[in-house]
Structure 1
Amino acid sequence: MRLDFAQPWVLALLPLALLPLLRRRRDTLRFSCIAWLPADPVGRALGVLWRSLACAALAGTLLGLAGPGQPGAQLQRTGRGAEVLILLDRSSSMDASVHTNGLQTAGRMSHEPKAQVVRELLGEFVSKRPDDRFAFMTFSTVPIMAVPFTHKSDTVQAALAATAIGRGLPETRMGDALLAAIDEFAPRSYSGSRVILIVSDGGAQLDEATRRRIRAGLAHEKIALYWIYVRSGPNAPNLDTDEAANAYGLGEELALHAFFKTLGTPYRLYQADDSNAIAAAMAEIDRQQNFPLTIYERVPRRDHAGACYLVALACCAGLLAFRALQWQSWEATA
């Protein structure tokens, strides 16, 4: 076990722990003949014990002040999962409820805002995948990185819960959000499957330069793209048709889907009309993204000063008990 010291200069004071071994003048007893003194093995043993406790108390205190501990390290382990960046649409349309209007909807989405249902289902998705590395980004007018990549699912859950505060803006700038999401993977070494999970009820008409940058970024960083399209009702575009073949003059949702289909990297659309469909989509993503993943965990420095202080405290307690026994014996002989 490798140790280091936060204040190594304190170790130079360790010789002070030998002070209790020095004889004091008042400890000297004057007798004309030492041979006349009776043997006292118990007294000798107690004297050695007393000095040992005093030395240990001083040494423990000095070692504690030096701050011993194990240095931090980065550990590597292998799990199963993926690096998932959740890209959540926070536009004002996500705050609206879904109305049936004759559509066969199921579950909660007919009565609750889409954002609330999505938030709860994403929370369940995150909690079921402890080996994943999650990042969380929201977007409407501009992308906002809420949580960089982390293995702490409670941090992601807190960020999801925070999206319930306030209302979103009317714009949905998908192109800027996708480019910002891709940039989050750039400084990371490749360790396994990478996924950008878009959850949105709208699309975007992207210019050629933006499409080119998105296509190149996804390919360079080896990122799969999943889009959970939260369909707002029967009047919303249906992406499960052949209309979105390759025509960028169509509506924003159809145009975005058509562009995604031309990517050279994996892409999958999940069109969801209700909460059950969203749950089913996340369950399928959960089953698909279960590949070996190299995980690097940074272990913080472990401080052992408390153990040294505990030893010093126990020795001081022993000295107090020893002194109390001495007073009792003196009172008994008085």
Structure 2
Amino acid sequence: MNALHFFKPELLWLLPLALLPLISYGVKQFNFPGLEDWPKDFLSDWLRWGVRVLAALTLAALVIAAAAPFTEGGTVTKVGEGAEIVVVLDRSGSMSENLQSYDQSVNAKPISKIEAARKVLLKFMEQRPADTFGVVAFNAAPVSVAPLSADRELAKAAMQSAEANSSGFTALNRALAMGLDYFNNRPFTASRLILLVSDGDAVIEPADRIILKNVFKQTRAKLIWVYVHAGAEVTQLSTVIAGDNEIITNEALAKVELDQNLAMNKLFEELEIPYQAFEVNSEAGLQQAVAEIGRATNKPTRYEYRLPRQDYAVYFYMLTMGLLGVLFWLKQIEIKAWKA
């Protein structure tokens, strides 16, 4: 049985006042000749002390009710489905490049990597009513655009507002750290997922890797990287190298990109955390990757549900009212005067 607690325990110091009715009779008395020679009236004695005890109980119940007694609700273990997902969306300039279209028709409209990511992720949110979502967008600096909550419309608006913007350096480590901060001070009630949607080409310093590794383990979060690419990236390597007049071919450019992202994948693997990567180069591939993520996070989750506390003040107030009613009735049948 749960222990009884009091919201205002300092009021319990007033409990000794409940002894006052046992000290003072509190009932009208009449002058009459001594009746020492008469037989003892035990019924009257019991009634007299019964009234005193009722008054004492009334005061005690009132003081206890004012102190607001309650018991903690405790917790129960439940099993449900769903996940806490923080989308970390790359909005660097390279994300504005077009994906390979899955629609092979002549009039197929090209779609950029960030547009395809937004479109697929918004649909993913609609299909996951039991999940909570948060959104972090980043290029040179991360921006918290939607907190982790069940407010699906807020997350959708944040996703729709993300636009690619070239600013040079990509702050991947700070974006991941901000996404992990969303899990701080939250009970572990569901699977936790950092969903990184990026075209790679980022560097994380060794010191930052150690910090990320520790935070991932503390929050018990899983990392999934959806690597979105469109073949050879268009970067400064596409231009003529100064002094050499040598133009980098698409094959060489693709090798540079591959080397960069293999290194990034290896970096994530070396963090020794739950990690999975998907490589996509079309909107269809992106949809398949997100569908696979949905299946991977749709596992039963065991969590603790905290029950509300049980308040007992109302019961003590009801007891007080009942005892007052009895005392009021006794007062009404009290003899007001001796008949002549």
What is the correspondence of 1:157-306 to structure 2 with a 5 Å cutoff? Answer: 157=152, 159-163=154-158, 168=163, 170-171=165-166, 175-182=170-177, 185=180, 195-200=193-198, 203=199, 205-207=201-203, 210=204, 212=206, 221=216, 225-228=223-226, 236-237=230-231, 247-248=255-256, 250=257, 257-263=261-267, 265=269, 266-271=275-280, 273-274=282-283, 280-289=288-297, 302=309, 306=311
Shift of 1:323: 2.4
User: Percent identity at matched positions?
Assistant: 24
Larger radius of gyration: 2
For residues 97 and 246 of structure 1, what CA distance do their matches in structure 2 show?
16
Is 1:308 aligned to 2:313, yes or no? yes
**Conserved 8 A contact 2:224-2:276:** yes
Residue deviations 1:183-215 (CA, integer Å, cap 9, x gap)? 765997xx9986431135xx35435xx365676
* Structure 2 gap ranges (5+): 234-250, 270-274
Tell me the number of residue pairs that the alignment of Structure 1 and Structure 2 aligns: 297
Give the Cα separation in 2 of the matches to 1:244 and 1:285: 32
SS of the residue aligned with 1:16?
Answer: helix
Does the aligned pair in 2 maintain the 1:137–1:143 contact within 8 Å? Answer: yes
Length-normalised TM-score, structure 1? 0.58
Distance across 1 between alignment mates of 2:126 and 2:252: 31
Distance 1:194 1:271, change over 3 A: same
Contact 1:199/1:227 (<8 A) preserved = yes
Q: Give 2:122's aligned residue.
A: 119
CA distance in 2, matches of 1:103, 1:237: 17
| AA matched with 2:29 | T
Question: Is the Cα–Cα contact under 8 Å of residues 11 and 63 in structure 1 kept in the other structure?
Answer: yes
SS at match of 2:137: strand
CA distance in structure 2 between the partners assigned to 1:291 and 1:329 by the alignment: 72
Q: Determine helix, strand or coil for the equivalent of 1:24.
A: coil
Q: Matches of 1:75 and 1:321 in 2, distance apart?
A: 42
SS in 1 for 2:150: helix
Q: Secondary structure of 2:226's partner? A: strand
Return the offset for 1:15.
0.8
1:220-264 deviation line (CA, Å, top 9, x unaligned): 646754233568xxxx4489xxx799833x4xxx67644433336
SS at match of 1:263: helix
SS at match of 2:3: coil
Task: State how far apart, in whole Å, the 2-side matches of 1:20 and 1:280 are.
Answer: 79
Cα root mean square deviation, aligned: 5.7
